[in-house]
Chains A and B, each alone.
Chain A
Amino acid sequence: LLSPSFSPSPSPLQFLRRQQVLQLYRKILRAIREVPAEADRRYLKDWAREEFRRNKDATEEDAIRMMITQGNMQLQELQRTLKLAKS
Protein backbone atom coordinates (compact mmCIF):
# COMPACT_ATOMS: atom_id res chain seq x y z
CA LEU A 1 0.00 0.00 0.00
CA LEU A 2 2.84 2.36 0.77
CA SER A 3 5.36 1.29 -1.86
CA PRO A 4 6.51 4.10 -4.11
CA SER A 5 4.80 2.81 -7.22
CA PHE A 6 1.31 1.45 -7.15
CA SER A 7 0.88 -1.50 -9.54
CA PRO A 8 -2.31 -0.61 -11.39
CA SER A 9 -3.64 2.82 -10.41
CA PRO A 10 -4.99 2.71 -6.86
CA SER A 11 -8.69 2.40 -6.19
CA PRO A 12 -10.25 5.34 -4.34
CA LEU A 13 -10.35 3.22 -1.20
CA GLN A 14 -6.68 2.29 -1.46
CA PHE A 15 -5.88 5.93 -1.95
CA LEU A 16 -7.90 6.87 1.12
CA ARG A 17 -6.26 4.18 3.25
CA ARG A 18 -2.83 5.34 2.17
CA GLN A 19 -3.69 8.90 3.24
CA GLN A 20 -5.01 7.66 6.57
CA VAL A 21 -1.91 5.63 7.30
CA LEU A 22 0.43 8.51 6.50
CA GLN A 23 -1.61 10.97 8.54
CA LEU A 24 -1.64 8.55 11.44
CA TYR A 25 2.13 8.11 11.23
CA ARG A 26 2.57 11.85 11.29
CA LYS A 27 0.25 12.29 14.27
CA ILE A 28 2.11 9.59 16.20
CA LEU A 29 5.46 11.22 15.47
CA ARG A 30 4.07 14.57 16.61
CA ALA A 31 2.87 13.06 19.86
CA ILE A 32 6.25 11.40 20.41
CA ARG A 33 7.89 14.80 20.11
CA GLU A 34 6.14 15.80 23.33
CA VAL A 35 7.74 13.02 25.33
CA PRO A 36 10.17 14.60 27.81
CA ALA A 37 13.14 12.20 27.82
CA GLU A 38 15.32 11.87 24.74
CA ALA A 39 15.85 8.14 25.32
CA ASP A 40 12.10 7.55 25.53
CA ARG A 41 11.53 9.57 22.35
CA ARG A 42 14.19 7.55 20.56
CA TYR A 43 12.65 4.29 21.71
CA LEU A 44 9.13 5.32 20.67
CA LYS A 45 10.25 6.62 17.29
CA ASP A 46 12.06 3.37 16.57
CA TRP A 47 9.01 1.42 17.69
CA ALA A 48 6.65 3.45 15.48
CA ARG A 49 8.94 3.17 12.48
CA GLU A 50 9.25 -0.57 12.90
CA GLU A 51 5.49 -1.05 13.26
CA PHE A 52 4.58 0.93 10.19
CA ARG A 53 7.35 -0.56 8.07
CA ARG A 54 6.52 -4.09 9.01
CA ASN A 55 2.97 -3.71 7.73
CA LYS A 56 3.55 -1.43 4.79
CA ASP A 57 2.96 -4.10 2.13
CA ALA A 58 -0.43 -5.16 3.45
CA THR A 59 -3.10 -5.25 0.76
CA GLU A 60 -6.16 -6.73 2.43
CA GLU A 61 -8.76 -4.12 3.27
CA ASP A 62 -9.82 -5.77 6.56
CA ALA A 63 -6.27 -6.07 7.83
CA ILE A 64 -5.47 -2.49 6.83
CA ARG A 65 -8.56 -1.08 8.48
CA MET A 66 -7.83 -3.00 11.68
CA MET A 67 -4.26 -1.75 11.79
CA ILE A 68 -5.39 1.82 11.32
CA THR A 69 -7.86 1.42 14.17
CA GLN A 70 -5.20 -0.08 16.41
CA GLY A 71 -2.81 2.68 15.49
CA ASN A 72 -5.36 5.30 16.41
CA MET A 73 -5.93 3.60 19.75
CA GLN A 74 -2.23 3.62 20.47
CA LEU A 75 -2.03 7.26 19.50
CA GLN A 76 -4.84 8.12 21.91
CA GLU A 77 -3.13 6.14 24.64
CA LEU A 78 0.08 8.06 24.07
CA GLN A 79 -1.75 11.37 24.09
CA ARG A 80 -3.57 10.47 27.28
CA THR A 81 -0.32 9.54 28.99
CA LEU A 82 1.32 12.77 27.87
CA LYS A 83 -1.58 14.81 29.19
CA LEU A 84 -1.29 13.11 32.58
CA ALA A 85 2.43 13.73 32.71
CA LYS A 86 1.89 17.43 32.12
CA SER A 87 -0.90 17.95 34.61
Chain B
Amino acid sequence: SRWLPVLPVLPRCRLHLLQVPRAAGPSCRRFSDLPPLTLPDIKERVLYVLKLYDKIDPDKASLTAESHFMKDLGLDSLDQVEIIMAMEDEFGFEIPDGDAEKLMCPQEIVDYIADKKDVYE
Protein backbone atom coordinates (compact mmCIF):
# COMPACT_ATOMS: atom_id res chain seq x y z
CA SER B 1 0.00 0.00 0.00
CA ARG B 2 1.28 3.43 -0.83
CA TRP B 3 1.23 6.26 1.63
CA LEU B 4 0.01 9.57 0.41
CA PRO B 5 2.96 11.95 0.12
CA VAL B 6 1.73 14.15 2.94
CA LEU B 7 4.23 15.79 5.23
CA PRO B 8 3.93 14.60 8.84
CA VAL B 9 2.62 17.23 11.23
CA LEU B 10 5.37 17.68 13.78
CA PRO B 11 4.35 19.16 17.12
CA ARG B 12 5.24 22.84 17.13
CA CYS B 13 6.59 24.57 20.21
CA ARG B 14 3.91 26.68 21.84
CA LEU B 15 6.17 29.71 21.73
CA HIS B 16 5.79 29.77 17.96
CA LEU B 17 2.14 30.61 18.50
CA LEU B 18 3.11 33.96 19.93
CA GLN B 19 3.46 36.00 16.77
CA VAL B 20 4.39 39.41 18.10
CA PRO B 21 3.38 42.06 15.54
CA ARG B 22 6.21 44.48 14.76
CA ALA B 23 5.69 48.24 14.61
CA ALA B 24 7.42 48.84 11.32
CA GLY B 25 8.30 45.87 9.23
CA PRO B 26 7.66 44.14 5.92
CA SER B 27 3.95 44.00 5.15
CA CYS B 28 4.15 40.35 4.19
CA ARG B 29 4.93 38.00 7.11
CA ARG B 30 6.94 34.96 6.19
CA PHE B 31 6.41 31.74 8.06
CA SER B 32 10.03 31.74 9.18
CA ASP B 33 9.66 35.21 10.74
CA LEU B 34 9.80 34.10 14.35
CA PRO B 35 10.87 36.04 17.43
CA PRO B 36 14.63 35.73 17.97
CA LEU B 37 15.89 33.02 20.30
CA THR B 38 17.21 33.98 23.72
CA LEU B 39 19.11 31.89 26.24
CA PRO B 40 16.23 31.74 28.75
CA ASP B 41 13.98 30.77 25.81
CA ILE B 42 16.20 27.88 24.86
CA LYS B 43 16.53 26.72 28.44
CA GLU B 44 12.77 26.82 28.99
CA ARG B 45 12.13 24.81 25.85
CA VAL B 46 14.83 22.26 26.59
CA LEU B 47 13.38 21.62 30.06
CA TYR B 48 9.87 21.56 28.57
CA VAL B 49 10.85 18.84 26.13
CA LEU B 50 12.47 16.86 28.95
CA LYS B 51 9.41 17.12 31.14
CA LEU B 52 7.36 15.69 28.29
CA TYR B 53 9.75 12.74 28.00
CA ASP B 54 8.09 9.66 29.40
CA LYS B 55 11.10 8.39 31.30
CA ILE B 56 11.46 11.63 33.26
CA ASP B 57 9.18 12.55 36.15
CA PRO B 58 8.23 16.19 35.49
CA ASP B 59 7.40 16.94 39.11
CA LYS B 60 10.58 15.67 40.68
CA ALA B 61 12.89 18.41 41.84
CA SER B 62 15.78 16.30 40.60
CA LEU B 63 15.47 17.73 37.10
CA THR B 64 17.78 20.74 36.97
CA ALA B 65 19.90 22.24 34.20
CA GLU B 66 22.85 20.25 35.51
CA SER B 67 21.11 16.90 35.92
CA HIS B 68 23.24 14.30 34.18
CA PHE B 69 20.97 12.03 32.14
CA MET B 70 22.71 8.85 33.16
CA LYS B 71 24.24 9.57 36.54
CA ASP B 72 21.41 11.66 38.01
CA LEU B 73 18.30 10.73 36.06
CA GLY B 74 19.04 7.03 35.59
CA LEU B 75 18.57 7.11 31.83
CA ASP B 76 20.55 5.00 29.40
CA SER B 77 22.16 5.71 26.05
CA LEU B 78 19.04 4.75 24.07
CA ASP B 79 17.06 7.29 26.09
CA GLN B 80 19.73 9.88 25.37
CA VAL B 81 19.35 9.26 21.63
CA GLU B 82 15.59 9.74 21.93
CA ILE B 83 16.05 12.93 23.94
CA ILE B 84 18.39 14.51 21.39
CA MET B 85 15.98 13.56 18.60
CA ALA B 86 13.21 15.33 20.53
CA MET B 87 15.43 18.39 20.79
CA GLU B 88 15.95 18.30 17.02
CA ASP B 89 12.18 18.27 16.55
CA GLU B 90 11.75 21.14 18.98
CA PHE B 91 14.42 23.42 17.54
CA GLY B 92 14.11 22.42 13.91
CA PHE B 93 17.64 21.36 13.00
CA GLU B 94 19.63 18.17 12.88
CA ILE B 95 22.37 17.44 15.40
CA PRO B 96 25.12 15.22 13.95
CA ASP B 97 25.97 11.93 15.72
CA GLY B 98 29.38 13.09 16.94
CA ASP B 99 27.89 16.14 18.66
CA ALA B 100 24.74 14.38 19.85
CA GLU B 101 26.47 11.67 21.84
CA LYS B 102 28.30 14.25 23.97
CA LEU B 103 25.23 16.09 25.25
CA MET B 104 24.64 14.63 28.67
CA CYS B 105 22.69 17.24 30.63
CA PRO B 106 20.16 20.01 29.87
CA GLN B 107 22.72 22.79 30.19
CA GLU B 108 24.99 21.16 27.62
CA ILE B 109 22.08 21.01 25.20
CA VAL B 110 21.24 24.67 25.87
CA ASP B 111 24.85 25.71 25.28
CA TYR B 112 25.07 23.65 22.10
CA ILE B 113 21.91 25.12 20.61
CA ALA B 114 22.90 28.63 21.62
CA ASP B 115 26.22 28.09 19.89
CA LYS B 116 24.70 26.71 16.70
CA LYS B 117 22.05 29.41 16.55
CA ASP B 118 24.42 32.25 17.45
CA VAL B 119 22.51 33.21 20.58
CA TYR B 120 24.52 35.19 23.10
CA GLU B 121 22.02 36.43 25.65
Q: Let me know if A18 and B77 touch, CB within 8 A.
A: yes
Q: Let me know if A36 and B3 touch, CB within 8 A.
A: yes
* B2, B70, B75, B97: the one within 8 Å of A84 (CB): B2
Interface of B is mostly: loop
Does B17 belong to the interface (CB within 8 Å)? Answer: no
Q: Let me know if B6 and A56 touch, CB within 8 A.
A: no
Interface residues of B (CB under 8 A from A): 2-9, 70-71, 74-78, 81-82, 85, 89, 97, 100-101
Interface residues of A (CB under 8 A from B): 2-4, 18, 22-23, 25-26, 29-30, 33-38, 40-41, 49, 52-53, 56, 84-86
Closest 9 CB pairs of A and B: A85-B3, A4-B70, A36-B3, A36-B6, A2-B77, A25-B81, A29-B85, A26-B81, A86-B5
